[in-house]
Each structure stands twice: as structure tokens, then as C-alpha cells.
Structure 1
Amino acid sequence: MPLIILARIALSLLSLAVLAAGGYALWSWYDGRWMLDAAGHALHVRDDWRLWLGLGLLAWSFLGRLVITPLLARRDSDPSRPERGEGQFLDSPTGSRLYVEVHGPANGPTVILTHGWGLDSTIWFYLRRALTARYRVIVWDLAGLGRSRAAKGAVDLSHFAQDLRAVMAFAGAPAVLVGHSIGGMTIQTLIRDHPGSAEAMAGVVLVNTTYTNPLKTMVLAPLAQALRWPVLEPVLRLAILLQPLAWLSAWQSYLSGSAHLANRLGFAEHVTHSQLEHTTLLATRNPPAALARGNLAMFDWDADGALQAVTSPILILAGDEDIVTLKSASQVLARATPGGQLLTIDAANHMGFLERHDIYLEKIEAFCLTAWSPAPRAAFEVHTIRDHGLEVGERS
């Protein structure tokens, strides 16, 4: 998510500056200053305000998230949690070792969930919980993230597609594939590179994703593309070379709350404390080198038109306030997809499937119900989901 990367870099630098200022204030208090009294005697004087300023800045640097998170998000009624079930490891043909969990009835229709970049499979907390009553739900961590381990050179879309193909083979049955952000890009890459895999897809759900380099389909795209070579590429490559320092900086940014500020950009008005904390925690504990390699890979990616050959039903979900992958990207995907259905969710940003999880779950579950027994459908449908119901936006 290039936009979040830029925000995290800027806010992380600010967080480090606050930490440095706190350290300097404490040092200057301890060092004090010398002055002469009326009798000409030298006195060592310490200014107490420097002590309190230094302690305050250090406290903010390591405890700021406890204050910032409640200011940025709503209280929870149904908290999201980074919880895991019983999992196993799957060896991919790419050489990566993938962490996979299977939930729900063993004989139920299969749904495979592929998460977005910087996250892991625990981010599917709400959807996994809702679907497991009826479906056999398989979640997995992308190579290099969560508990999955990536082989050398295997952190890119083509390798992720092969990994997903291995997960589908592990499933052993046709499945509905659900992918958020880079997860949706992975599904498109699989169809592009391995067309025969589409036969094992009972349906496809693309959640807040794009069809090309995300720098081209985000807010302020011209600026993002202009910053690619002079800023983004050097910083990401530096994170690979200096991973231990990058990781320490990421954790300090997490503790200070500046990382939460950056990740707040991916949400709209409905985000809760736990959802913001969940997302920020995952983005922080994943290895910076893997995150950087994945982002670099996205800059050279394109799968425009890959979905044209798919005959199974496709649902495309977009947030009308998504600034990371604009809803126009989903509209392009829908127009290029025979039998595709586009739903635009009102008041939803890039992480809409968390903050508006009730609406996203309803639409995905309804799609899964029809995927194994599809009814005749229009070639292309577009709707907008609003708080007060379903409003037809376009149909052709």
C-alpha cells in the first residue's frame, strides 16, 4: 500500500525526532549549566523544565499509542482480534513454506481467503468467523508474512500466484477465492499465468483491489509515480539492507502511535479501536525487508484483462472512500469482466471489510451461496451499498 508507506515513513521520522528531542532534553538537564552567584562562586544549575520535558517526550515515544488510538477510532462493540486456530505448513513449488489454517465443516463448500500486503491471515477475523458455520474456510499467510516463510526471490506476485495454486491443490475441491488488495492481485496473476486454474474456481471475490501498479490507481497518483524513483525505491531498498534498524524504528513508531496515525489513512469513519490496533500491529511485526520486496514487486505489476477468460461468477467490492485503490480501479475491473458484478460500499476506505464488516460479510456470504448454483446473470452490474439500503447505480 504505497500511500500508507509514505505516511509511515514521514510519521516514523517524526516519531524518531520526538524521541531524540526527549533524549536531548534529559541530557541537557543532567549536564546543566554553570553560573556565578553574587559572591562569585560557580554553581551547577539544572533546569527542572528540561527534566519534565524530556520525560514527557520519552513517555509519548513509548506510550503514545494508548492516547492516540482512542482519539482516532470508535469504541468497540465487536472487537477484531489477531487470533489463530490450529494450522499446518504447506511446502509450495516456489520453495516457500506456507502457513495454512482450515476452519469449518470438512465436507462444506470451500472458500480460500487471501489477505492484503503488510497483514496476515488473522485479518479475516470477521469473515472467517461468519463463514465457518456453513463453509470450509481456508486462510493462509502470504510468503514472507505472518508465519509463512518465503524462499529467496519468492516475494512477488508471480510467486504468490504459484503459492495460491498450491493452496488450491491442498484444498482438493473447487473453491471461491476471496482476495483483498494484493490478495486480489494474486488471484488475477494466477489467472493470467495459469489459465487452467480458473476451472477450480467456483467464484472469485475481489475486495478493494486493482488491476495494475497501485501507484497508478491511488489518490494523487501522478505525485506517487513521480516519487517512485527518487523516494520510494531508495527507501524500500534501504529497509531491505538495514532491516534490524528498520524494525526497531517500526516498533518505536508503533509504541508512539505514529504508526496508528499512518494506518488510519486506510479507514473511513467507522473504524474501531481494535480494528486500527489489529491492522497496525500486523504491519509492524511483519519483517520490513519482506514488506519492502512486496511493495517493490507491485510497482512493476500488471494484469489488465486477465479476468476476461473467467467463466465463473465474479464479485468486485469497492469502497467509495478508498484512497489506496480508488473505486475507479474496480470499475475498470468490472467492465473487463464477463458476468462480473461490482458493488460499491458507502463510507468504506481500503480496509472497509473491517470497518464495514457487516455489509461486506453479507455480500460475500450471499455470493458464496449462489456460486455453487449460479442463476442467470446480467453481463455487468454495478450497485452502491448505502446505510439505508441498496441503490442501483448502473447496469448494462
Structure 2
Amino acid sequence: MTSLELFAPPVPEARLRVPSADGTVLHVEVHGPDGVPTVVLIHGWTCNTSFWAPVIRALREGAPGLRVVAYDQRGHGASEAPGKGRYSVPILVEDLTAVLEATLAAGEQVVLAGHSMGAMTIMAAGGSPDILSRVGGAVLCSTGFRHLPGSSSVFPGFGRLPRANKAVHRLLLSSALPIGPVTPVSRAMLTHTALGPKTDKGLRQVNARMIAACPPRPRAAWGRVLSELDVSSQVTGLDVPTSVVFGTKDRLTPAGAHAQAIAAALPRFEGMTTLPGLGHMTPMEAPDTVVGLIRQRVAAMDELGAAPVASETKEARP
């Protein structure tokens, strides 16, 4: 199967339009049958639900089959792009809360898996008792919880100039300049930024198309949030079994700057998976590894007695 086929969006059993606390409507997809354990997938900055396509297929169709919920972060994919000021760390948590309320039955616990900003959403949820009461485990992929611009290495020439490095990466995050259309030059730039050096041509194209499709204003708005993000106080409250995944060639959230800090901060750290030669997009670059870790967390959740109750998918709004 080619990368283009692998990342073709799977058809969900249900598509929901879920209003968040401020009225912004989120696009939510539900894959797989009711009455089995549920996994909620949360993508990162400039991505959308198609980011998870191979992960969704493997979780839904593998043995045992799981129920998978994925949603577009506000301003991404088919979710609404709100006005100025409706982007913040608390809003990440509010949006996740709305998705869980719309897709889970009373008393049902889930495993959360997030990439980059999606993993930051999970860490920020460590300050939300309502979310934690529903979570039986988590997987954090390629992420950090503070000091993102200063630690990034997309522009390695600034590595010995800390202030300049922070400034140039803050500019990268907050720029509203359009990225598309995808050209050989823009594809090469986005490959350098987000992927490992040995990624195949098909995945480089999928990555570039997805990032270029993110509207510039929401991209910049979320980038400004990320440039100031610090959820160090919340991550210590993420009291659920949590696995962590990093690529050794991650330039946006380098493992050396973030991996061990996250491991030390987590109350119930369940192990680090380091992927040699891979970049920031670990669920795209190594979906089988991420699927395996999610299944481990689901199995552990069930062993601890957090077996799912029958789920009822709520009816989609027209």
C-alpha cells in the first residue's frame, strides 16, 4: 500500500458536529462498533483527522477491534475557525471535554492518544478532574510542555545563539504567511521541519498537503499559544498510566529537550519509546508502534477494572 493509499481518510460510522463551551463547532468522527473500548485521538498543530488514518484503521480493524473517536482541533480540518481570542490552553481542554461528553456513555473510560499539540491537550487536562475521571490511560507522541521556541532546532544555525533561536522559532510558529500551494521547495522545507531524513516520497507529499491545508490565521493563532505554552503545573496532575513516544530527529520538540522532562513530571510514567531517525510526525512515520502502545494502554485499563460500558453514539447535527 502506498503512502497516499495508507493516509486516505477512512469512512467513519458517524460524523458529529459538537459545540464546545464557547459555541465553536468541532468536527468529530466515530469509527468502529459500540460496546468495545474507546480510544480518543487528538492531532497536533497544522494537522487534521487524516493524520491518524493508518492508526484508526489498525485500531478499528485489528484484533480486538476498538472504537475510535477522532476530532479536528478548532481552526483545523472541518472544525470551525473561531474569531480572535478563542485560542488558548484552557480552550484545548474545553474542546476535549465537549468531545468526551458527546461521544462517551456515562461511566465509560477511555485511552487518550495525542500528538504534539494534541498531547499538550492531554497534559493540560491533568488540571481537569472531569476529564481525568473518564481516562484510563494515555499515549503522548512527540511533544513538550513548556519552552517550545527556545528548544526547537528547525533552524540549526541559531543553536549557539539562544535568544536568536527562540526569536526565529517564535516567528515560525506565529507566522500567518500562506504555505501552499505545495511545490518541490515547500515540500522539502516541510519535510525538514516535520519528518525524519529518510522518509519516503509519498509520506513527504502527504505531510506537505496536510500542513498546507491548515488555514493561515488559525495556524498563526495556535502558534502564538504554543510559543507561550507552559502546562508544567497540569502535567503533574495527569495521574493516569502514560506512555511517551519520541523520534530522535524531531526538530520541533527535540527529545533531548523534552522527553526526560515529561517522563520525570508524569505521576504514572509507563515507559519511553524512542524511534531512531524519525522526526516530529511519529504517528505518521511509525503508525504500528503507536498502535501497539495504544493497545497496551487499553489492555492495562481493562485489567484494572475500567472495562467499557455500552457506548451510544449521539446523533450528528445537520
TM-score normalised by structure 2 residue count: 0.83
Does the alignment pair 1:138 with 2:69? yes
**Is the contact made by 2:150 and 2:166 (CA closer than 8 Å) also made in structure 1?**
no
Greater Cα radius of gyration, structure 1 or 2? 1
SS in 1 for 2:46: coil
Return the offset for 1:77: 7.0
Return the offset for 1:229: 5.0
**Is the contact made by 2:87 and 2:222 (CA closer than 8 Å) also made in structure 1?**
yes
Structure 1 counterpart of 2:280: 350
C-alpha separation between the residues in 2 aligned to 1:225 and 1:144? Answer: 30
Structure 2 counterpart of 1:105: 33
Which residue among 125, 131, 134 is the counterpart of 1:190? Answer: 125
Which residue among 87, 90, 96 is the counterpart of 1:158? Answer: 90
C-alpha separation between the residues in 2 aligned to 1:155 and 1:281? Answer: 24
**Is the contact made by 1:319 and 1:327 (CA closer than 8 Å) also made in structure 2?**
yes
C-alpha separation between the residues in 2 aligned to 1:303 and 1:135? Answer: 30
**Structure 1 residues 156 and 309, CA, compared in 2 at 3 Å: closer, same or farther?**
closer
Alignment identity in percent? 24
C-alpha separation between the residues in 2 aligned to 1:204 and 1:232? Answer: 28
- Decide which moves more: 323-332 or 217-226: 217-226
Higher helix share: 1
Which residue among 199, 202, 226 is the counterpart of 2:164? Answer: 226
**Structure 1 residues 322 and 251, CA, compared in 2 at 3 Å: closer, same or farther?**
closer
Count residues with an aligned counterpart. Answer: 289
SS in 2 for 1:144: coil
Does the alignment pair 1:286 with 2:214? yes
Q: Which amino acid aligns with 1:174?
A: Q
Higher relative contact order (CA 8 A, sep 6+): 2
Gaps of at least 5 residues in structure 1 are 1-74, 240-245, 376-396
**Structure 1 residues 225 and 373, CA, compared in 2 at 3 Å: closer, same or farther?**
farther
Return the offset for 1:285: 1.5
**Is the contact made by 1:110 and 1:171 (CA closer than 8 Å) also made in structure 2?**
no
Which residue among 115, 123, 138 is the counterpart of 1:204? Answer: 138
**Structure 1 residues 222 and 136, CA, compared in 2 at 3 Å: closer, same or farther?**
farther
**Structure 1 residues 279 and 78, CA, compared in 2 at 3 Å: closer, same or farther?**
closer
Structure 1 counterpart of 2:102: 170
Return the offset for 1:363: 2.5
Gaps of at least 5 residues in structure 2 are 306-318
Q: Which amino acid aligns with 1:354?
A: M
Q: Which amino acid aligns with 1:257?
A: P
SS in 1 for 2:190: helix
Structure 1 counterpart of 2:147: 213
**Structure 1 residues 232 and 163, CA, compared in 2 at 3 Å: closer, same or farther?**
same
Structure 1 counterpart of 2:311: none
Q: Which amino acid aligns with 2:265?
A: A
**Is the contact made by 1:118 and 1:282 (CA closer than 8 Å) also made in structure 2?**
yes
- Decide which moves more: 355-364 or 110-119: 355-364
Return the offset for 1:235: 9.1
